[in-house]
Amino acid sequence: MLLTHANLATFDADGAYGLVTDGAIWIESECIRWVGPMQDAPQETGAGERLDLGGRLVTPGLVDCHTHIVHAGNRSKEFEMRLGGASYEEVARAGGGINSTVTATRDASEEDLLCSALTRVDALISEGVTTLEIKSGYGLNIKSELKMLRVARKIARERPVRVKTSFLGAHSVPAEYSGRADAYLDEVCLPALAAADEAGLVDAVDGFCEGIAFSREQIRRVFEAAKSLGLPVKLHAEQLSNLGGAQLAAEFSAMSSDHLEYATEEDVAAMARAGMAAVLLPGAFYFLRETKLPPLEALRSHGVAMALATDCNPGTSPLTSPLLVMNMACTLFRMTPEEALSGVTLHGAQALGLNDCGKLCAGARADLAIWDVEHPAELAYRIGFNPLHKRIFAGAM
């Protein structure tokens, strides 16, 4: 297939950004064979389909590298409580929060969980997402953690989208282990991780290092277990307070630290040395009405890749729009539209340890988004408007 007369927002093999006006892309089976200006297009592109894009913009397919998209129920009641003045932590300590979604998720059948997740996945796909990460963490017992991860794997069979799973057994201490976080790790979380890994359901291991969740030393135990299974790690770190999670993650050469509102320059320096990505989640920042900004200047000056994601979850970011994430990253975090685009493509892929997507260059997977706009800045600029024209997943429209 040859795509012609398109504007191309490319990231090349080295991750350098470029804008090609009147460009072409040659796709062969599942891969991009050639990308460049129309006049240089190779002659031997064969008798395949030709598609004139009439000046539309092509970007890499979007990567949503941090979601809790598999869950049951919703938390609109809690939203009302918070609007009445309760903080996220107060709601959690009063038995709401993550644990209320745990009850709903444990009670849901596998079919119902899949069905509700697919409506949200379809919203992502309709905005050009071709790769997404899905975490467990609302089961918090062996059976339900495995159920969530099976549903995540099924999504990749039900829809043309690539799914990377993260085991998040260390998301919250469930009610039956209240005050006994270490016993929960020993009796549930670590055995669940081993069982899920044995079943081929785990691509990475995540945790929530926070006052309302797990301490740095408890997360260390989870990371040691991940290491012994040969699984990469990542961490929800410094979202509500600074507990040193980002530096712990760096010690374990994590793929990313996520949230980071309370991270310091020292944390960022440790992340840079470890070659980690920062995953920024403006939806959660907005929804919690947080005012402390993540350390943008330090991330830039230390050259840490800044990925962006929806954090789609029922408690702090009931968001299924990567385009709105891009807009929020610009308006709330003062990121540039170009940084926003690389956040949901190249850097999102990097945060998942993927090297074959999130860019437009020869050899990359043919995961593309074609937009009814001329310039990439338009993607971050509009609010609540979806200009996706077509999506190509692994070379197929």
Residue number with the smallest Cβ distance to Fe ion: 311
In this structure, the dihedral spanned by the alpha carbons of residues 334, 322, 208 and 263, taken in order and rounded to 10 degrees, is: -10
Shortest reach from residue 144's CB to ligand DI6, in Å: 15
Cβ contact 162:129 at 8 Å = no
- Distance separating alpha carbons of residues 89 and 81, to the nearest angstrom: 12
Shortest reach from residue 291's CB to ligand DI6, in Å: 16
Helices 110-125 and 142-158 pack at an angle, to 10 degrees, of 40
- The site partner of 7 among ligand DI6, Fe ion, none (C-beta below 5 to 8 Å per kind) is none
- The site partner of 314 among Fe ion, ligand DI6, none (C-beta below 5 to 8 Å per kind) is ligand DI6
- Distance separating alpha carbons of residues 260 and 247, to the nearest angstrom: 11
Shortest reach from residue 50's CB to Fe ion, in Å: 42
Nearer to ligand DI6, 260 or 323 (CB): 260
Shortest reach from residue 133's CB to Fe ion, in Å: 10
- The site partner of 101 among Fe ion, ligand DI6, none (C-beta below 5 to 8 Å per kind) is ligand DI6
Choice from 78, 133, 311, 367 touching Fe ion (CB under 5 A)? 311
The two beta strands, 17-28 and 31-37, are: antiparallel
Stretch of residues binding Fe ion (CB under 5 A), selected from 111-119, 266-274, 305-313, 344-352: 305-313
Shortest reach from residue 308's CB to Fe ion, in Å: 13
Helices (H), 126-180: 142-158
In this structure, the dihedral spanned by the alpha carbons of residues 73, 75, 77 and 80, taken in order and rounded to 10 degrees, is: -160
Shortest reach from residue 357's CB to ligand DI6, in Å: 25
Number of H helices, E strands in the chain: 16, 15
Residue number with the smallest Cβ distance to ligand DI6: 315
C-alpha atoms less than 13 angstroms from C-alpha of 219 in its C-beta half-sphere:
31
**Amino acid in position 103:** T
Shortest reach from residue 92's CB to Fe ion, in Å: 14
Nearer to ligand DI6, 10 or 116 (CB): 116
Nearer to Fe ion, 56 or 234 (CB): 234
Nearer to ligand DI6, 60 or 282 (CB): 282
Q: Indicate left, alpha or beta for 244 from its phi (over 0: left) and psi (-120 to 50: alpha).
A: left
Nearer to Fe ion, 102 or 373 (CB): 102
Q: Tell me how far CA of residue 156 lies from CA of 114, 125, 130, 162, 384, in angstroms.
A: 11, 12, 10, 6, 26
Site size for Fe ion, by CB under 5 A? 1
Nearest to 324 by CA among 296, 285, 367: 285
SS3 379: helix
Contact footprint for ligand DI6 (CB under 6 A): 68, 97-98, 101, 171, 208, 236, 239, 284, 311, 313-316
Nearer to ligand DI6, 284 or 306 (CB): 284
Nearer to Fe ion, 123 or 364 (CB): 123
- 261 in contact with Fe ion (CB under 5 A): no
Nearer to ligand DI6, 26 or 214 (CB): 214
- 197 in contact with Fe ion (CB under 5 A): no
- Distance separating alpha carbons of residues 114 and 148, to the nearest angstrom: 9
Nearer to Fe ion, 197 or 311 (CB): 311
Shortest reach from residue 181's CB to ligand DI6, in Å: 15
Sign of CA dihedral 282, 288, 292, 298: negative
Nearest to 219 by CA among 261, 252, 264: 252
Q: Would you tell me which residues interact with Fe ion (CB under 5 A)?
A: 311
